[in-house]
Amino acid sequence: MKFDHIIGLKNIENTCYMNSSLQCLFNCLELSKLLVNSKFNNNKYKNFVKVYRTNLIRLNLGGAVNVKGIKVEFEKLYNLFIGSEYQDAQEFISLLLDSIHEATCVKNDEINILSKSIVSKLFYGNIKKTIICSKCKIEKSSLDTFMTLSLPIPENTIKILKAFNSFEYLSIKEGTRFVDIKKYLNTTDDLLICEYLNNYMINIYKANVFEGGCSIFKKKNSTIVAYKYSPNKKHLLLKIFYKKYYLIYTKSQFDVLINIDDIDHDPYKLLHENRVIILSRVYKELKNILINITLAEFLELSKLEGSISVTDRDILTINLKISSYIFKNIRNENNLHLNDCLNNFLATESIEYTCENSCKSLANVSYELMKLPKYLIIFFKRFDQFGHKISTPIGFDKHACINNIDYDLIGVISHFEIGLWGGHYIAYIKKKEWYCCNDLVISKGKIDKNNAYVLFYERRE
């Protein structure tokens, strides 16, 4: 079997994360060839992997892939993926490979010996972790197995935070105690409890109310918000989440969020009469990344246009058209490369540590790649703990040498932001030429490196 066909995949329920992942995994030809001839263990993963294999055979014959059938069986294994919620390609890939591993592995009864499968053969690598106590110099090493590498983006890159809704919503009954909220949140942090009604903060409860077991006497239609805070800090910045903000969408590497509550919100006036005010505020947000562009030039070379649409979160999106001259003068953030992310991942760091001699001190932790797999899957950690995307472009090579091993790039998954809360995944796969796989649409095209999220490398034999 050659597996040289490329077939578009239907987006059925926000399944671009799955379609892009499948295109890259289908292009791991050794996996496909071994899976077609594999016997499966009689466990809960068997049906899903059988459906996956059936679609591999269809793909080899140039037939359509049944995306819905794959999704239905995957949902039976992983409840998180039920429905049409927006999902993460990284998690899907990891769980899919785990499923194939469990369905094809030969169990090993020996303790600490990994079971062998076609996934362990092709995707598993080893990384050595060494901890050295700075006080008594005792050294402790361990060898960990990885299936994918998740590389953080170095912290000296620029992060632009956008408005977001990161609250966890909790329904509470009348008479619920503050201490119950703290238990539910499973936190030992000090909390500040605020009550909002009709966009106004009407009550603030201090931390000491927890000690008395006080109950919440919540007004009808009000909202209770819990904030973490440090009692040692003099000031506390609260997130006012009712405020209306307006999003200027530039169709480039960045979105711009500005507040225009103080001007008329009539759509016509926003686009025309208040054009200078809006563009001036956009310029203020972009000034740090614009090279030698004055406000006067920005006003002359930019315009607001297109339809205005309001999302379900009170975010108004306006299209902004900027001349190519301005785009050419946008600062390249840090010229980061894959090697920078790898070096950052492997760099020695200091941690608080208690060693075997019961020394409580700082210890140096270092990592070393020991064994690299046939297929090396690299994820860039483009989302922080709050769900903000880190949009820093990262360079990478089609032919890479990692740990003195030559690799060829065979697949890339790119993630594109759509406004503040949406996104879309596209895959690029290498046959004789590079192809862009955008759900059902397949076309020849260059890799979009600015939005790369997942890289698939194959070891050169």
| Pair of tokens at residue 152 | 């953080």
**Predicted local confidence at residue 175, as pLDDT:** 64
Which residues face 149 on adjacent strands? Answer: 378
**What burial letters (b/e) apply to 203-219, b meaning 16+ CB within 10 Å?**
eebeeebbeeeeebebe
Q: How many angstroms separate the CA atoms of 229 and 226, rounded?
A: 10
Given a cut of 90, whether residue 124 has pLDDT beyond it is: yes
Neighbour order of strands in the sheet with 245-249: 255-258, 245-249, 315-322, 302-310
Q: Which of 98-112, 128-142, 281-295, 406-420 has the lowest mean pLDDT?
A: 281-295
pTM of the shown model? 0.63
Nearest by Cα to 6 from 123, 54, 423, 20 = 20
Which residues face 177 on adjacent strands? Answer: 215
Label the pairing between strands 394-395 and 375-381: unpaired
For residue 385, the SS3 value is: coil
When pLDDT is averaged across residues 329-350 and rounded to a whole number, the result is 75
The domains of the chain, with CATH numbers, are 16-150+336-459 (3.90.70.10), 178-229 (no CATH), 247-327 (no CATH)
189 or 18, which is more confident? 18
Dihedral, CA of residue 164, residue 170, residue 173 and residue 178, to nearest 10: -80
pLDDT tens per residue across span 267-291: 666 667 778 888 888 887 776 666 6
Q: Which of 64-73, 79-88, 239-248 has the lowest mean pLDDT?
A: 239-248
**Predicted local confidence at residue 135, as pLDDT:** 76
Percentage of residues in the chain having pLDDT higher than 90: 37
Q: How many angstroms separate the CA atoms of 125 and 378, rounded?
A: 12
Q: How many angstroms separate the CA atoms of 395 and 295, rounded?
A: 31
pLDDT tens per residue across span 168-191: 556 666 666 667 777 766 666 677
Q: Pinpoint the alpha helices (H) of 230-337.
A: 267-271, 275-286, 295-301, 324-327
| Pair of tokens at residue 414 | 């790119």
Q: How far is CA 56 from CA 4, 377, 424, 454, in A?
A: 11, 20, 24, 22
Q: Are 28 and 417 in contact (CB under 8 A)?
A: no
Q: Pinpoint the alpha helices (H) of 347-449.
A: none
Q: Could you tell me which residues come within 8 angstroms of residue 344 by beta carbon, excluding any fewer than 6 positions away? A: 151, 152, 153, 154
> Would you give the DSSP letter of residue 332?
P
Which residues face 438 on adjacent strands? Answer: 441
**Predicted local confidence at residue 166, as pLDDT:** 47
When pLDDT is averaged across residues 80-102 and rounded to a whole number, the result is 93
For residue 452, the SS3 value is: strand
Q: How far is CA 334 from CA 28, 345, 393, in A?
A: 32, 17, 8
**Predicted local confidence at residue 372, as pLDDT:** 96
Q: Residue 289, Cα to own-chain centre: how many angstroms?
A: 24
Nearest by Cα to 420 from 239, 265, 245, 287 = 245
241 band by pLDDT with thresholds 50, 70 and 90? very low
Q: Which residue has the tokens 């994820």?
A: 379
Given a cut of 60, whether residue 160 has pLDDT beyond it is: no
Q: Are 21 and 90 in contact (CB under 8 A)?
A: no
Given a cut of 50, whether residue 309 has pLDDT beyond it is: no
